Chains A and B, each alone.
Chain A
Amino acid sequence: MLFLPELTLLGAGLTFFIFSLGKPNSGRIRNMALSVAAIIFLASMVSIGSEGTLFYNSYKIDLFSQLFKALIALATFIVLIFSGKLDGIKDNIQSEYYLFLFMSVFGLMMLVSSVELISIFVSLELSSFAVYLMVPMRKTGKRGGPQVEAGIKYLLYGVVATGLMLYGMSYMYGLTGSTHLDEITDKIARMYNQPAAVIAVLLVLTGFFYKLALVPLHFWVPDVYEGASNETTAFIATVPKLAAVALLIRIVTLVTPDGNVMTGALMVCAIASMFYGNLSALVQTDIKRLLGFSGISHAGFVLLGLLTFNLTGYATAIYYIAGYVFMNLACFLVICTVARDGENVLIEDLTGLHKRAPLLALTLTVGLFGLAGIPPLVGFAGKFMLLVAALKEGYLLLVTLAAINTAIAIYYYLSIVRVTFCTDDAKRTNVVTGRFHYILCFSLMLIIIIMGVIPQRFIDIAVTAVQTLV
């Protein structure tokens, strides 16, 4: 029961491994993948109340981890629904694609439960390596095929980040003589003023900065987002971020709040990410690239919650990243559906979308206004609560800069909305949407609105989850 979602995933991986040996038809694989994803989601929902530890205390099952597992499973399920027939992936390797996808999810789920350095490392690598392989599996289209370049970039940067993280872990072990996070917490608190401890924690954070795409480990984002197929990008842009935030929270709780160096470092990263992401997004024409840069700035916002070093801040960060994932999913749903043959989507490709597919246009608008932080959507509630949490701790300058960033960001979100809603183009054909899309569009919009209008329930859940950490 404790290990149920992970076991299901392992089963899924094996199934697709067996599929990949033969030549199955792609429709059957797709149905299979969808039902497996649904089962995984159910399994993670079922196991949401369970608690316990596994593998010599290196694997902890509590509300915190289970909540993240449920979110990961849900996000994966949604991505699989709208990826449809995997237009962007070569036909003959679709079962391999699913195999790696589920292995990556498996890694991420293990990651949120890991409370020991070696298991954290192993699960992080498991999830990363699978994605490194998913990126170049895209088929070469008319607009060129930068997928190999993207894959290499993703791999190289990833390996560097991992190296740095491993180095930090070795410091941690050297300082404390243990690889278990709870023992490290006890010991490192006493030597917190020593530079070695600060460097150790910062280096370990690096690995997750990379996953979350925070400055200075953001370089891979635009090229990988652009080079990977739409479905892969949708996955990379949402699911791993959840796990990254979970682990960032776990690592940050190691630190006592009176460490000024630590706060300073996180603050610089937060501000740099926001400004870099937003200013670069202003000039993008490829919508995936744009969302990549906007993701960098949102990661900066998440850091606001972390550097409060208190439970409310962490809970708000969870609420925010959950909301962010749903808003991003809404946008990627539209991108994947509008794309022809899995090609990239430029902003101008959305011309007249309100006529060609009214529901998609509305979903995209809700998602973008949500990302922009316009009330009453979840993006606003999340940003607002993060700002409140940060200002409560007295970071007035940080909050002001974050607020200014919200204003900058409006422009590029708005320019997409403008193209979808205010332009007409008779030449472009209608977009075909399936039955699943209808349900998914409405559900996503509903989630984005409800989470924004009545956030109390969600915050409560996040607070309870965070309380299990300490």
Chain B
Amino acid sequence: MDQLLLNSGFPILSALIFLPLIGAILLLFVKNDAICRNVALLVTAIVAILSIWLIFGFDKNSAQFQFGEHYSWIKTLNINYTIGIDGISILLILMTTFIMPFCVLASWSYIKTRIQSFMVCLLIMETAMIGVFVALDFVLFYVLWEAMLIPMYMLIAIWGGPRKIYASIKFFLYTLSGSILLLVGIIWLYTANNYSFYIPDMMWQDYSLTSQIYLFLAFFLAFAIKVPMFPFHTWLPAAHVEAPTAGSVILASILLKMGTYGFLRFALPITPEATVIMMPYVLWLSIAGIIYGGFTALAQSDMKKLIAYSSVGHMGFVTLGIFVLNINGIEGAILQMVNHGITTGALFLCVGMIYERTHSRELRSATGVGKYMPVYITFLAFFSLSSFGFPGTNSFVGEFMILAGAFQFDTALGKFPYLALAAIPGAVLAAAYMLRMLQKIIWGGTDNPDQSWITDINVREIVTLAPFLFFVFWIGLGPQPFIDLIHTSVIQLLNQFHAHQAEGMAAVSMLLN
């Protein structure tokens, strides 16, 4: 159990995992809708506040897993309840805990039927999501990874839009069939590693190249579908469009990050040589995702679809950053995961607010509301700017670091920077589709529908959006504290990666030349 600093004091991570679950069980016995809402808000808020503790207790100069807890779970198979966090996961956990209360707030008046079940689903989702990011036992990880599907399926299938059945089943089948081979991979690793499911034990081992490639493909299928990378993205627009606002926010902000988190946590350390061999393909798939997402978003008339396709593009940047395998790229990717969570989450909240008023997601029916909703469009404008990486906002920092990493990737090999150049049109496209949406929503044209009846957002909605805006600017103007949190872990990851296979890198440079 090296690499795991056991937590001697209050089991903070377990508290974060189980508080929402306890909340969900309590809610089962509550019949009153108002109490349900308040209890759910209270529980998620407590979890968010508790998680602040992590920032102060976290040792930034250590790449070890911290706040660790370790209990035996299934002794026969050596499965344990082992959890802990490092620099790679801490920001994602904080993002999860902070976004959840706003998901509850966003559903306050949006969800009108079966509120109790809805809140139960949200809370179970929170348990599973936090669990996925902290799990250090592969079975625990897999259990939570799959368990997440049920509440998410329910969120889409019960409270979704008109094509909810199609979207929810597609989401479920796609994600599940992707991760089924991951299960086989996990069991293979278990037999190859002296019957241990402990994730750090599986890292940096000398598996044969063939088995690494198979493992990588299993990982890739599971994680690429979750990200989603082009061409595995087709479930995403459907699920996003049909999900209720809170569901869209959870999907965009947190669920998608699990794919990229999986690449960082598993693919790189467990199959380093295979990663190097597959890297070029993944990189160009990322570029394809960036460009494809951009162009498709440009053509959408449905606001949610537009943002969903923009997610494909943004997540393309993240995978690009991860697979250039240098410090700028990976740090930028982690930061961009958080940025995308904040910005896209907020954009979905904004679309949800319009939808509550006009009952349509069509851009056409939302044109020209700027005059009547000044507060709302202020928020929307800032989030849109952030979405296409305007300097001073959070995404700028992340995308800049990723592009810098991409430049470095080619120049380090002494080549012309094709990769970065190929990605840059994506940034331009993002500006194009975001500004187009913004222009239509604020001003529209001569044929605007009558919007005079529309009311501006209320205090609850402002409270929902304001913290997102705060983080947009905090990360945009002063990203250093965030990067500090992840820096040591990323350095450690890269050092071990390069130490593990200097010869692998040589093979790739031969391959590329």
Nearest CB on A from B203, distance (A): 20
Asked if A374 lies at the interface with its beta carbon under 8 angstroms from chain B, I say yes
Asked if A396 lies at the interface with its beta carbon under 8 angstroms from chain B, I say yes
Residues of A within 8 A of B483 (CB): none
Asked if residues A456 and B146 are in contact (CB atoms below 8 Å), the reply is no
Asked if residues A388 and B190 are in contact (CB atoms below 8 Å), the reply is yes
CA distance A418 to B165 in the complex (A): 7
Asked if residues A415 and B169 are in contact (CB atoms below 8 Å), the reply is yes
Residues of A within 8 A of B74 (CB): 381, 455-456, 459
CA distance A411 to B188 in the complex (A): 26
Nearest CB on A from B142, distance (A): 7
Residues of A within 8 A of B183 (CB): 384, 387, 403
CA distance A359 to B73 in the complex (A): 30
Asked if B111 lies at the interface with its beta carbon under 8 angstroms from chain A, I say no
Asked if residues A374 and B146 are in contact (CB atoms below 8 Å), the reply is yes
A 243-278 binary contact with B (CB < 8 Å = 1; else 0): 000000000000000000000000000000000000
Asked if residues A388 and B158 are in contact (CB atoms below 8 Å), the reply is no
CA distance A369 to B149 in the complex (A): 11
Interface residues in B260-312 by Cβ distance below 8 A to A read none
Smallest CB gap from B142: residue in A:
A375
9-residue interface stretch from B171-179, B355-363, B414-422: B171-179
Residues of B within 8 A of A460 (CB): 76
Asked if B77 lies at the interface with its beta carbon under 8 angstroms from chain A, I say yes
Asked if B457 lies at the interface with its beta carbon under 8 angstroms from chain A, I say no
Asked if B147 lies at the interface with its beta carbon under 8 angstroms from chain A, I say yes
Partner of A422, one of B73, B157, B181: B157
Asked if B180 lies at the interface with its beta carbon under 8 angstroms from chain A, I say yes
Interface residues in B179-201 by Cβ distance below 8 A to A read 180-181, 183-184, 187-188, 190-191
Interface residues on A, range: 20 to 34
Asked if residues B191 and A463 are in contact (CB atoms below 8 Å), the reply is no
Residues of A within 8 A of B477 (CB): none
Nearest CB on A from B338, distance (A): 28
Task: Tell whether A388 pairs with B77 under 8 Å between CB atoms, given A374-B150, A396-B188, A414-B169.
Answer: yes
Asked if residues A407 and B75 are in contact (CB atoms below 8 Å), the reply is no
CA distance A459 to B154 in the complex (A): 32
Nearest CB on A from B150, distance (A): 6
Asked if B143 lies at the interface with its beta carbon under 8 angstroms from chain A, I say yes
Asked if residues A312 and B173 are in contact (CB atoms below 8 Å), the reply is no
Interface residues in A393-434 by Cβ distance below 8 A to B read 396, 399-400, 403-404, 406-407, 410-411, 414-415, 418, 421-422
Interface residues in A438-469 by Cβ distance below 8 A to B read 454-456, 459-460, 463
Asked if B406 lies at the interface with its beta carbon under 8 angstroms from chain A, I say no
Residues of A within 8 A of B63 (CB): none
B 142-172 binary contact with A (CB < 8 Å = 1; else 0): 1110110110011001100000110011001
Partner of A400, one of B158, B181, B191: B181
Asked if residues A387 and B187 are in contact (CB atoms below 8 Å), the reply is yes
CA distance A376 to B190 in the complex (A): 20
Smallest CB gap from A355: residue in B:
B114
Residues of A within 8 A of B153 (CB): 414
Task: Tell whether A391 pairs with B188 under 8 Å between CB atoms, given A406-B180, A422-B164, A459-B76.
Answer: yes
Asked if residues B181 and A403 are in contact (CB atoms below 8 Å), the reply is yes
Chain A: residues with CB nearer than 8 A to chain B?
312, 369, 374-376, 380-381, 384-385, 387-388, 391-392, 396, 399-400, 403-404, 406-407, 410-411, 414-415, 418, 421-422, 454-456, 459-460, 463
Can you offer 22 A-B residue contacts whose CB atoms are under 8 A?
A374-B150, A375-B143, A375-B146, A375-B147, A376-B147, A384-B183, A391-B191, A403-B183, A404-B181, A407-B176, A407-B180, A410-B176, A410-B177, A418-B157, A422-B157, A454-B73, A455-B74, A456-B73, A456-B75, A456-B76, A459-B74, A463-B76
